[in-house]
Structure 1
């Protein structure tokens, strides 16, 4: 009996964090620094900072994947080929992440400690009160239980530590951050910016707000980080720690406390519910390699496995109290799935600036903040969109199809081509109950868990918006003096932007939402969900910065509640 008690004691922590990505990393950092003993559980394999980034110094021709794209396409069917060429080891093989698509869906899952914080696009933007108030004002979904003033201090907190470079604009729809110096625009981008802002008052082009260190301040250097080297190899992992990732930013201070235990290869199968205490008591885990099962216990649990995986975990956590999934009294768990719709815009060429070129490989582009349905602008659809993109000058590749040979061809290859500029629209998707994920219990994965099924698509509101997204892009580039402007619309599948949100939304009423304003499950106060699953609406900006702020805020609240013995 004493041995059994000791075994439970050895498996007991103050807090458990499920997932090691953007949200999980912040939860672990904050909880350990506030004095808690934390167990971080990650289903992926270990990935060491610096030494683990095996491809980051390799030239394209040194990547073995280049010669076997057919094999990779079969092994990683959910992974774009251009990603597979450089970071295929970071993604979970397709056969391990199989899922059903009632409607076309794209689900990219990492297979490493650090999750998508290693491969993310690093674009970092704040939500505004225009975003937080939209549902209530328009009668869409449910009202956010927080407003900008509630999260603004936490945006500042995480930005200073993570490091976000950018330019202050003073726009109500895109609040300014705690910025490092902005990266420089290329010549064509500067010209296009001036001409767009002259032709379309209210439309502003700025450099992207990115979690890359344009300069390393003391807080970053003390954490072992260095400024961006302008190599644009971020997606392979950065040994300099020049962009925000779990490995470079949040794990080091958590480890330094001596209170973090990291357990990779750990598939969390269930959050255990204690009906007597009406709280979660711990989690059940299956080792992804040995398939052995183990239980761990804690006073507080942070579920940060990424939106789809976090919701799947709650759905799998059934009990007499929660027969349809933990916290699912509202029947909203799995519903209101959102992403950003994109893959459309315009490209053009600029015939000026022939005596100028650009320097370095800037790991960033431009951004045009939302301007539709702002102020007096009213459209026949709700919400809006922004543009990402950028400019550059054609290199030798523009001669690949030329009919030339010998000396003349070689000379031509030494001369760059025209400047080019492209705009890619990213639009907001409304939360709708019909857009959902659910468990397919007829098909089990290799760990014995139900696989996921997805039934989600963009709606009429998004389709109307896409008309403006294409037309406005063309209109702006042509007004900026570009030639050969061409538009495109490649269609947008939910999940394609890798900005999955919703399915365990925050709200004010337990009857219509899963989480409260502190990211707690309404009916299970010691379980917090702070990744994309918690989002009540999607906005049109990249969401990861909001996950960081919500995670740090929720961790601070959880520690206060623990001290007050309310959880």
Structure 2
């Protein structure tokens, strides 16, 4: 590649946000260099375990002892990585970080990033979320409101394909949906019971999930979900949205995209004479060579914590503490969602019923506390929701020592009883002293400083976790389910895999890093559109919001570019 080429734009990262930035910039005619720090992953061709069954893998997919050590931090999330998806998670020995306080940083470094392994739950924010900081005097005010983002939610949902049900809730705005997936019989029982037993508006619906559910020609190269529930291995049908199946191919079709993998961005280059970013410096992951690429625009979409790290590493005479960091706001206000707690129950009946396929989705119970005076709690601010599912046990519940003979043989051929479970996702407040910094002495194998996390749950979060337990029991008991038990696993911020903050959006450059268009206040040709810009966290999965803001920011950048503002 010619290092003297001046690109119109450089996009750092190829995940949820980077794919959308590439698509929108390229479709607006900008010659765009897209950089990914990990290796290439080609849609379908590189989904090497997409059709494997457990018996096709050593140890039925369980990691070997040596791999357990390689992924010792990634394994803090209970469902991954397993042998069938370990290649989509980082090797912790090669990609270390420091923890002043426990932080569970779950990552995937490859083209497509975590868009290949995300949970696909897709929910809009409401003005309850955008206005909360101002009303409660927490952190700083969002410089946008729902009406500013609603058209971009429309655009994103229509393009990626989100299935779900419109509900008319003020705390969870409706969207542009594909037909919803079906609830099973036990989930419908709980849905009916909640409607009858509670008078505070709480309800249950099918999850809103980025899966195509009907045959249509509008999704180029993608087909409907096949209900295999092997999504995290890469979907050869393109049934769920990923950068690899959707936005990156769209960018490529324009002829305006150059994609370079194995490119670890070290810093954004700052031109002291023009007061603008001039491009980026990378380290080639394979050769170790240092290379500079020039551009008129930079879109930082490396994932929240990685983007904050790049900004902190981007030092100059004007910004000795990192680009846009003259007021010590960069790296602060780190957030995530509550995770790894909830409740389960046994279910009597419905033994004559089963379900078809492996639905890659569950039910959702939207936030029902602190919405208005009727639902106000005095023990904590903000709210939480639940994600869950009901299913029948299978033969694996049988233990050989507990049975023998004809009855045992017949039992292992029949499905077991029903169970239901739910997990709480609660909002974490933007505490100013929850922060990430660059390690003073620890570096990675490419010579770049490791990140050091000093993030913890505080009093509001701990009170909310108590309420999550309490209400999960109330909800399951409302349907008459038996043996209701709460559960909790070891947890550190980050484990919800919704890490946010560090370069928050706001009105004032003294108290925030980016403006309402996602531009770094003091360097307007640098846009930050992954989770780093988040000013508060809401309690819903954030990826849809990242995509909407990215599409909005990329179109703003293209307009400004065409007006010559970045010349």
Which TM-score applies when normalising by structure 1?
0.97
- Aligned partner of 2:108 in structure 1 is 110
Among candidates 68, 76, 79, match of residue 73 of structure 1: 68
CA distance in 2, matches of 1:395, 1:555: 48
CA distance in 2, matches of 1:124, 1:7: 40
CA distance in 1, matches of 2:327, 2:480: 53
CA distance in 2, matches of 1:157, 1:217: 17
1:474-499 per-residue CA deviation (whole Å, 9 max, x = no partner) reads 11111111001111122431010110
Q: 1:437: Cα distance to partner?
A: 0.5
Q: 1:111: Cα distance to partner?
A: 2.1
CA distance in 1, matches of 2:507, 2:366: 29
Q: Is 72-81 or 320-329 further displaced after alignment?
A: 72-81
CA distance in 1, matches of 2:402, 2:545: 51
1:358-507 to structure 2, matched below 5 A, reads 358-375=355-372, 376-379=374-377, 380-400=379-399, 403-507=402-506
CA distance in 1, matches of 2:387, 2:90: 28
Is the counterpart of residue 47 in structure 1 residue 41 in structure 2?
A: yes
- Aligned partner of 1:87 in structure 2 is 85
CA distance in 1, matches of 2:470, 2:107: 34
Q: 1:105: Cα distance to partner?
A: 1.0
The answer on whether the counterparts of 1:124 and 1:164 sit within 8 Å (CA) in structure 2 is yes
CA distance in 2, matches of 1:126, 1:170: 12
Q: RMSD of the alignment, in Å? A: 1.2
Q: Is 395-404 or 150-159 further displaced after alignment?
A: 395-404
- Aligned partner of 2:296 in structure 1 is 299
CA distance in 2, matches of 1:62, 1:336: 45
- Aligned partner of 1:188 in structure 2 is 186
* Structure 1: segments with no counterpart, 5+ residues: 1-5
Is the counterpart of residue 258 in structure 1 residue 255 in structure 2?
A: yes
CA distance in 1, matches of 2:459, 2:286: 45
Among candidates 50, 55, 59, match of residue 61 of structure 1: 55
CA distance in 1, matches of 2:275, 2:457: 38
Among candidates 223, 237, 240, match of residue 240 of structure 1: 237
- Aligned partner of 2:25 in structure 1 is 31
The answer on whether the counterparts of 1:341 and 1:493 sit within 8 Å (CA) in structure 2 is no
Structure 1 residues 170 and 67: CA distance shift in structure 2, 3 A: closer
Structure 1 residue ranges (4+ consecutive) displaced by more than 4 angstroms after TM superposition = none
- Aligned partner of 2:212 in structure 1 is 213
The answer on whether the counterparts of 1:39 and 1:261 sit within 8 Å (CA) in structure 2 is yes
- Aligned partner of 1:137 in structure 2 is 135
CA distance in 2, matches of 1:77, 1:407: 44
CA distance in 1, matches of 2:154, 2:470: 36
CA distance in 1, matches of 2:215, 2:430: 39
CA distance in 1, matches of 2:274, 2:143: 26
The answer on whether the counterparts of 2:342 and 2:488 sit within 8 Å (CA) in structure 1 is yes
- Aligned partner of 2:512 in structure 1 is 513
Q: 1:90: Cα distance to partner?
A: 1.3
The answer on whether the counterparts of 2:384 and 2:424 sit within 8 Å (CA) in structure 1 is yes
Structure 1 residues 398 and 67: CA distance shift in structure 2, 3 A: closer
Is the counterpart of residue 355 in structure 1 residue 352 in structure 2?
A: yes
Is the counterpart of residue 285 in structure 1 residue 285 in structure 2?
A: no
1:196-243 per-residue CA deviation (whole Å, 9 max, x = no partner) reads 1110131110000000111143221xx100000000000100010010
Structure 1 counterpart SS, 2:332: coil
Structure 2 counterpart SS, 1:126: coil
Is the counterpart of residue 276 in structure 1 residue 288 in structure 2?
A: no
Q: 1:401: Cα distance to partner?
A: 6.3
Structure 1 residues 262 and 408: CA distance shift in structure 2, 3 A: same
Structure 2 counterpart SS, 1:443: strand
Structure 1 counterpart SS, 2:93: helix
CA distance in 2, matches of 1:512, 1:111: 31
- Aligned partner of 1:3 in structure 2 is none
Structure 2 counterpart SS, 1:83: coil
- Aligned partner of 1:121 in structure 2 is 119
Among candidates 14, 18, 36, match of residue 20 of structure 1: 14
CA distance in 2, matches of 1:217, 1:538: 34
CA distance in 1, matches of 2:89, 2:472: 33
The answer on whether the counterparts of 1:340 and 1:428 sit within 8 Å (CA) in structure 2 is yes
Structure 2 counterpart SS, 1:195: helix
Structure 2 counterpart SS, 1:354: coil
Q: 1:402: Cα distance to partner?
A: 6.0
The answer on whether the counterparts of 2:74 and 2:90 sit within 8 Å (CA) in structure 1 is no
1:433-462 per-residue CA deviation (whole Å, 9 max, x = no partner) reads 110000003011111100010000111001
Structure 1 counterpart SS, 2:80: helix
CA distance in 1, matches of 2:273, 2:229: 53
1:290-334 per-residue CA deviation (whole Å, 9 max, x = no partner) reads 011111111111000000000000000000000010001231100
